[in-house]
Amino acid sequence: MAATPIQLDEHGRLRHFLTIENLPRELLVEILDHAERFTVVGDRAVKKVPLLRGRTVVNLFFEPSTRTRTTFELAAKRLSADVMNLNIEASATRKGESLSDTLRTLEAMDTDMFVVRHQDSGAPEFIARQVAPGVSVINAGDGRHAHPTQAMLDVFTIRRHKPAFEDLRVAIVGDITHSRVARSEIHALKILGVPDIRVVGPKTLLPTAIESLGVGVFHDLDEGIAGVDVVIMLRLQQERMQSALLPSGHEYFHTYGLTPARLKRAARDAIVMHPGPINRGVEIDSAVADGHQSVILQQVTHGIAVRMAVMSMVLGSHAQAA
Amino acid sequence: MKIRIRGGRVIDPANGVDAETDVYIDGERIVALGRKPPRFTAARDIDAGGRIVCPGFVDLAAHLREPGYEHKATIASELGAAAAGGFTTVCCTPDTAPVVDTPAVVELIHQRARGVRGARVRCIGALTHGLGGEVLAEMQALKNIGCVAVSNVGRPIRDTNVLRNALAYASTLGLTVLLEAEDPWLGARGVMHEGATSTRIGLAGIPAAAETIGLARDLVLLGETGARAHFRTLSCAQAVSYLRDARKRGLHVSADVGIAHLHLVDEDIANHDAHYHVRPPLRSTRDRDALRRALARRQLDALTAHHQPHDADAKAGPFGASAPGISGFDTFLPLALELVEAGAIELAALVDACAVAPARILDLPAGTLGLGAVADVCVFDPAACWTASPATLLSQGHNTPFMGRELRGRVTHTIVGGRLVHALDD
Amino acid sequence: MPKTTDDLDVEALIATMAERLAQRIAARELADPALVGIRTGGVWIAERLRRLLDLDAPLGELDIAFYRDDFSRIGMHPTVAPSTLPFEVEDRNLVLVDDILYTGRTIRAAMNEIFDYGRPRTITLAVLIDRSGRELPIDANVYGTRLRLGADDHVKLLGPDPLRLEFCARRS
């Protein structure tokens, strides 16, 4: 099934950014290259470029997330766009007012871009199909489906340390079932040509038929990260720590927590990543999170540049090509 | 009124008829097949040349939404759509507001249906009070007022003890129970079939095991209570094989399948399109093929429209937040004929599954063109092409993944109790 | 002014620029000037000027894509490389170098970008070719040559080795 042709326009330009699945490799590389240019902006006296001056970006968050919203807000502001934050209680749309009604209200405000986070998979695409032509939608995380900008900042960080994707071994460890980050990362790594992608976790946290996405499946952490160049640790949500999925955060740490000793199983120069926020002592030991192999803080910095790249590309796609 | 249906191919599986012949109706009954009765002068002469004449379809469980959800559909709108789809009898589900758990609501529905130019309605009563799954509904009263079955539709009973008692009580009264096989926990958070597609597009899955386990539990209780039951819309191969085994052991139980489940699979849920959201979910290609085979072999007794009309808002949102259900009456016949075209089922067997079997399951006086039978007749043109569009759909619910699709086969006339309620040519 | 464009020897023009720039730096007493080339042609010229003038300061390179005023018409420009100004801009004497000065819009964008790095003491504009067609009040302080060209005439610097000029007239 051809997924989401809606995000590309007839010239193959990125009009919306909803999922990484089925995007051409060149487009991902273009995002990374643009992001590379934007990282420089963050090092200057004035950390702003006038690219999106006069444009209005609405952060439409149906699910609370201060971190992600802040990086999108910062990215938009560094592009000189005007930013509005709207946090909509999930209950408001579930009862009575439909999502379409909410949108119609917002469209009246003359918005150029919606950055959407929603608890339901597919919501940003639904919105993208409703908005007027000339309005772009960026997915800031939907249900378990996708978190494409997070995945792009992850591969951006990987490329800075390990530019040869075709030689890489990457392990993604933790709760894959509920993770939109993992899904988008798998698509991005696959498209960029990473030959060895592994998912590691207990059977309760790996979704049915995950191998159909082209990944190796491991239930043992030591085996799963053996020799890998990149270890991506996923956040374990509080509500899953003591549930029918896992007995406790304590037991999880003992089986799947990344400690300095276990990290030795990975390649000597392996990097350790985490989309944040970190649960120290649950999925990762502080000594690893703060250690010299950790690139977790770089991920945060790169997140701004990557989002600036995506935002300027999608809004640039509406240019009437001369 | 005297009606003659002339020159059509008459398919009447209940009487082993498949021949080009004429049908004569007088009053509300069929009075002759083939040879014109003496002194018969047709007030209405229907030319059925090139068309199929068969007993009107019987839908075992349709959601008509009235009372309570008239913004989705009304009894009048849906009985009209049903007739245009070839249905002459529609059994309506009790999940209205108020729930069909008192004779008053049944009377209300009968009253609203009176005078509607469309299919005949029969009520399914609630199995438990308010469909709450705790207290038994007043089933005797519901039976007395005319309910043809009882069901906890849409809300399978979680408490096995309550279910056992409900089945035992219904059995005492000789009421057939309509069951939906679903384990209440395994499928609880899911919105689509659990498999590679749900993993890929990030929607919570309902494993096939949820249906099989639900079915297995119910089968054991049916064996114990001796209740007569019918399973609504089975969706997966494993459940079908469990059902087959139970029948081999001598259990008297029947089952149907929804038309959408014979056409669509989980992989079709592209772009999280809410119009594919249905419960039980669209399963794998392997499951769909098994359902088709089981219907052709008559291991699945009946084919239903699984009609669930919705207002636009119910589908205006992402998949998981949308209400499940497909509006099925309008596209039912062409989709069913596609199965014949694809060689999945013989036409006579299809008519059996749409009319004869459902009537038999609920002991309804329908599904036959035999002499003296109530004249519930469907005439359709198997070659007529049309496109599903908001303009062509008669159901108030336009929620169908088949919107925009080219369809082949259209009902031209529907006669309910000798009354012509739908005529395309007019 | 040369009669035909074939007469234009780029390296000779750069030598002329270097001479004029040196004079100006001396006359204005511009201490420790830093060259900033605009990608890509301006960078090629700035590299040569830096060698000819024997300047200490490292070369700055500007990619003005984020400052262009045609984003809403053209969208994102293809990626080359990010800007690098490997010195303190604040209170610095800068020499902005470009290949062709035409409408003046590129220079406007470049100056905007420079000010986001800091507030320079002075900016001197040095261009290889100062052609007609200005749309903004911007003038070169130093130029290799001046050309009077029609709106349909286009001139482009090709490089980096050797540097040569390509002319074309787009007339219907």
| CATH classification of the domain holding B25 | 2.30.40.10
Verify that A193 and A289 share a domain, yes or no: yes
Verify that A141 and A254 share a domain, yes or no: no
Closest by Cα among C46, C67, C124, C61 to C92: C124
- Chain A residues within an 8 Å CB radius of C76: 34, 312-313, 316
Residue C146 dihedral angles phi and psi, to the nearest 5°: -115, 140
Q: What is the pLDDT of residues B146-177, one digit of tens each?
A: 999 999 999 989 999 999 999 999 999 999 99
Minimal C-alpha gap between A50 and chain C (Å): 6
User: What are the start-end ranges of the E strands in B82-151?
Assistant: 87-92, 120-126, 149-151
Verify that A288 and A153 share a domain, yes or no: yes
CB-count exposure of residue B5 (10 Å: 0-12, 13-18, 19+): buried
Verify that B25 and B64 share a domain, yes or no: no
How many structural domains comprise chain B? 2
DSSP A8: B
Suggest the residue from C66, C113, C114 to mutate for an interface test with chain A (most A CBs closer than 10 A). Answer: C66
Residues A93, C105: Cα–Cα separation, whole Å: 47
pLDDT averaged over every residue in chain B: 96
Which CATH number do you get for residue B90? 3.20.20.140
Q: A68-72, B80-84, B179-183, C62-66: which range is least confident on average?
A: C62-66
Residues B230, B256: Cα–Cα separation, whole Å: 8
Strands B2-12 and B17-26, bridge-based pairing: antiparallel
Is residue C146 within 8 Å of C135, Cβ to Cβ?
no
Of the CA atoms within 13 Å of residue A111, those in its CB half-sphere come to 25
Nearest C-alpha in B relative to A19: B201
Q: Which of B196, B203, B318 sits opposite A126 (nearest CB)?
A: B318
Verify that B19 and B164 share a domain, yes or no: no
DSSP B71: T
Q: What is the pLDDT of residues B229-286, one digit of tens each?
A: 999 999 999 999 999 999 999 999 999 999 999 999 999 997 899 999 999 999 999 9
Residue type present at position A33: D
C7-73+83-169: which CATH topology? Rossmann fold (3.40.50)
Query: CB under 8 Å to A17, separation ≥6 — which residues?
Result: A7, A136, A137, A138, A139, A148, A149, A310, A313, A314
- Chain C residues within an 8 Å CB radius of A45: 89-90, 116-118
Overall average pLDDT of the B174-198 stretch: 95
Is residue B69 within 8 Å of B55, Cβ to Cβ?
no
Residues A56, A70: Cα–Cα separation, whole Å: 16
How many structural domains comprise chain A? 2
More confident residue, A287 or C160: A287
Residue A322 lies in a domain: no
Verify that A288 and A176 share a domain, yes or no: yes
Nearest C-alpha in C relative to A32: C79
Per the CB < 8 Å rule, is A126 touching B201?
no
pLDDT averaged over every residue in chain C: 90
DSSP C116: T
Is residue C116 within 8 Å of C84, Cβ to Cβ?
no
Verify that B29 and B163 share a domain, yes or no: no
Verify that A27 and A65 share a domain, yes or no: yes
Is residue B166 within 8 Å of B140, Cβ to Cβ?
no
Is residue C122 within 8 Å of C79, Cβ to Cβ?
no
3-state class (DSSP) for residue C97: strand
Verify that B36 and B136 share a domain, yes or no: no
**Distances in whole angstroms, Cα of residue A290 to Cα of each of A285, A296, A309, B79, C48:** 9, 8, 28, 68, 46
Closest by Cα among A52, A75, A321, A112 to C66: A52
Residue B390 lies in a domain: no
Tokens standing for residue A223: 């085996």
Verify that A158 and A55 share a domain, yes or no: no
Verify that B97 and B13 share a domain, yes or no: no
Is residue A18 within 8 Å of A124, Cβ to Cβ?
yes
More confident residue, A105 or C136: C136
Residue B188 sits at the chain A interface (C-beta within 8 Å): no
Strands C153-158 and C122-131, bridge-based pairing: unpaired
Residue C172 has pLDDT above 50, yes or no: no
Verify that A31 and A77 share a domain, yes or no: yes
Per the CB < 8 Å rule, is B272 touching A145?
yes
Residue type present at position A162: K
Q: How confident is the model at residue C109 (pLDDT cuts 50, 70, 90)?
A: very high
* Domain that residue B37 falls in: 2-52+374-381+401-423
Q: What is the pLDDT of residues A269-286, one digit of tens each?
A: 999 999 988 999 999 999
3-state class (DSSP) for residue B270: helix
Per the CB < 8 Å rule, is B270 touching A2?
yes
Inspect the structure and tell me whether chains B and C have 3 or more CB pairs less than 8 Å apart. Answer: no
Helices (H), chain A: 25-41, 66-78, 90-94, 99-107, 123-130, 148-161, 180-191, 221-224, 238-241, 249-256, 260-263, 286-289, 296-316
CB contacts < 8 A, A to B, total 89
Residue B340 lies in a domain: yes
Residue B368 lies in a domain: no
CB-count exposure of residue C119 (10 Å: 0-12, 13-18, 19+): exposed
Verify that B278 and B405 share a domain, yes or no: no
Residue B312: Cβ within 10 Å count? 13
Q: Name the β-bridge partners of C166.
A: C156
Verify that A287 and A305 share a domain, yes or no: no
Residue type present at position B166: A
Verify that B182 and B47 share a domain, yes or no: no
Q: Which of residues 92-111 of A touch B (CB under 8 A)?
A: 93-94, 98-100
Residue B388 lies in a domain: no
User: What are the start-end ranges of the E strands in A27-111?
Assistant: 56-61, 82-87
Q: What is the pLDDT of residues C54-83, one digit of tens each?
A: 998 999 999 998 898 888 888 888 766 788
CA angle B55, B58, B64 (to 5 degrees): 140
pLDDT, residue C2, reads 46
pLDDT, residue A43, reads 84
* Domain that residue A194 falls in: 148-295
Residues B49, B9: Cα–Cα separation, whole Å: 8
Which CATH number do you get for residue A174? 3.40.50.1370
Q: How far apart are the first and last CA of chain B?
A: 17
Residue A68, Cα to own-chain centre: how many angstroms?
A: 9
Verify that A59 and A104 share a domain, yes or no: yes
Percent over 90 (pLDDT), chain B: 96
More confident residue, C25 or A105: C25
ipTM of the complex: 0.91
Backbone region of residue A266 per phi and psi (left: phi > 0; alpha: psi in -120 to 50; beta: other values): beta
Residue C171 has pLDDT above 80, yes or no: no
- Helical packing angle, B237-248 and B285-296, nearest 10°: 30
Tokens standing for residue C100: 């062709």
Is residue B68 within 8 Å of B99, Cβ to Cβ?
no
Closest by Cα among B1, B52, B33, B61 to B378: B52
Residue type present at position B64: L
Residue B209: Cβ within 10 Å count? 16
In chain B, count of helices (H) and strands (E)? Answer: 12, 18
User: What's the pTM?
Assistant: 0.90
Q: Which of B201, B267, B317 sits opposite A126 (nearest CB)?
A: B317
Is residue B237 within 8 Å of B291, Cβ to Cβ?
yes
Residue A321 lies in a domain: no
Residue A225, Cα to own-chain centre: how many angstroms?
A: 22
Backbone region of residue C98 per phi and psi (left: phi > 0; alpha: psi in -120 to 50; beta: other values): beta
Verify that B25 and B121 share a domain, yes or no: no
Verify that B79 and B217 share a domain, yes or no: yes
Q: For the stretch B333-344, what's the b/e string if a residue is b when 16 or more beta carbons lie within 10 angstroms of its beta carbon? A: bbbbbbbbeeeb
User: Looking at chain A, which subunits does it touch, using at least 3 CB pairs closer than 8 Å as the criterion?
Assistant: B, C
Q: Which of B196, B201, B270 sits opposite A121 (nearest CB)?
A: B201
Residue type present at position A291: G
Verify that B128 and B265 share a domain, yes or no: yes
pLDDT, residue B102, reads 97
Tokens standing for residue B364: 């309804």
Residues A149, A156: Cα–Cα separation, whole Å: 10
Closest by Cα among A129, A163, A183 to A7: A129
Q: What is the pLDDT along chain A (322 residues), one digit of tens a residue?
A: 344 589 999 889 999 999 999 999 999 999 999 999 899 888 888 899 999 999 999 999 998 888 899 999 999 999 999 999 988 876 555 555 677 777 777 878 889 999 999 999 999 999 999 898 889 999 999 999 999 999 999 999 999 999 999 999 999 999 999 999 999 999 999 999 999 999 999 999 999 999 999 999 999 999 999 999 999 999 998 877 777 899 899 999 999 999 999 999 999 999 999 998 899 999 999 999 999 999 999 999 999 999 999 999 999 888 865 3
Tokens standing for residue A148: 């494409």
Tokens standing for residue C58: 């490292």
Tokens standing for residue B212: 């099989």
Overall average pLDDT of the B55-67 stretch: 98
Tokens standing for residue B96: 């209205």
Q: For the stretch C83-109, what's the b/e string if a residue is b when 16 or more beta carbons lie within 10 angstroms of its beta carbon? A: bebebebeebbbbbbbbbbbebbbbbb
Residue A155 lies in a domain: yes
User: What are the start-end ranges of the E strands in B140-288?
Assistant: 149-151, 177-179, 192-193, 205-206, 229-231, 253-258
Query: CB under 8 Å to B226, separation ≥6 — which residues?
Result: B171
Residue A268 lies in a domain: yes
Q: Which of A37, A49, A319 sits opposite C72 (nearest CB)?
A: A319
Verify that B103 and B70 share a domain, yes or no: yes
Strands B17-26 and B29-33, bridge-based pairing: antiparallel
Overall average pLDDT of the C38-61 stretch: 94
Per the CB < 8 Å rule, is A13 touching C90?
no
C95: enclosing H helix or E strand: strand C93-101
Residue type present at position B93: T
Tokens standing for residue A267: 């390649």
Residues B404, B110: Cα–Cα separation, whole Å: 34
Verify that B9 and B73 share a domain, yes or no: no
Per the CB < 8 Å rule, is A207 touching B201?
no
Residues C70, B294: Cα–Cα separation, whole Å: 64
Residue B391 lies in a domain: no
Residue B183 has pLDDT above 60, yes or no: yes
pLDDT, residue A295, reads 97
